[in-house]
Amino acid sequence: MPELPICPIQSEEHAALLLDYCARRLDAGQMAELDAHFAVCAQCRQFRDQQALLWNALDEWNSAPISAGFDRSLRLDIESFERQPVWVRWVDWFYGISLKPAVPVFGLLTLLFFFSLPPRHEESPAPAVQTTEAEQFESDLEDLDLLQQLPL
C-alpha cells in the first residue's frame, strides 16, 4: 500500500484530505491510505481523533425548539422595518457604523498635517538705519558733488 508523499497535517495542499476523511467523503482507497498513515503519524492521528469528538458532539447537540409564533413575529418585524421611510433606515445604518477603526487613521492624518506645516519664524524688525550712517552717506554725496565740480 503506497504511503502519502507528504504528511497532510504539514502541507496546506493536503490538509483538506484530513477533513474529507473525517466527513467520510473519500473513496475506499484514499481512506485506506490515510488509515495506514495514521498508524505512523501521531499528529494526524490526534487531529483525526479531535475531529471525531467534534463531529460526535455536533451530532448529539440538540437546539432549542423554535416557538410557535416565531415566524409570525419575524414577519411583523420585517414588515415594520420596510414601512419606515428610507431616511430613517439610513440614519439607523449610519448610527450602527463603528468609528473605532477610523481613530488611528484620523490620528495619523493629524500628525501628517502638523508635521507638513512650514516652521513658524518670528519676524525680526528691519534693522534701523542709524543716523550716523545717514549722515555719513550725505557727507559722501556732498564730497562727490565737489569732486565733479573740479576741472580735471
Q: What is the pLDDT of residues 8-40, one digit of tens each?
A: 777 777 778 888 888 888 899 888 988 888 888
- Identify each DSSP E strand in the chain by its residue range: none
CA 46 to CA 25: how far, in whole Å?
19
Q: Extract the C-alpha cell encoding 76.
A: 411583523
Cell 562727490, residue located: 144
Instruction: Calculate the alpha carbon distances from 125 to 69, 122, 128 in Å.
Output: 84, 9, 8
The type of residue at 8 is: P
The conformation of residue 8, written as its DSSP 8-state character, comes to: G
The closest alpha carbon to 30, from 20, 43, 15, 39, belongs to 20
Q: Extract the C-alpha cell encoding 129.
A: 538705519
pTM above 0.75, yes or no: no
Q: pLDDT (tens digit, 9 = 90+) per residue, 39-90? A: 888 888 898 899 889 888 988 888 888 888 899 999 999 999 888 898 888 8
Task: Using CB atoms within 10 Å of the CB of residue 88, give its burial: 0 to 12 exposed, 13 to 18 middle, 19+ buried.
Answer: exposed
pLDDT confidence tier of residue 2, bands split at 50, 70 and 90:
very low
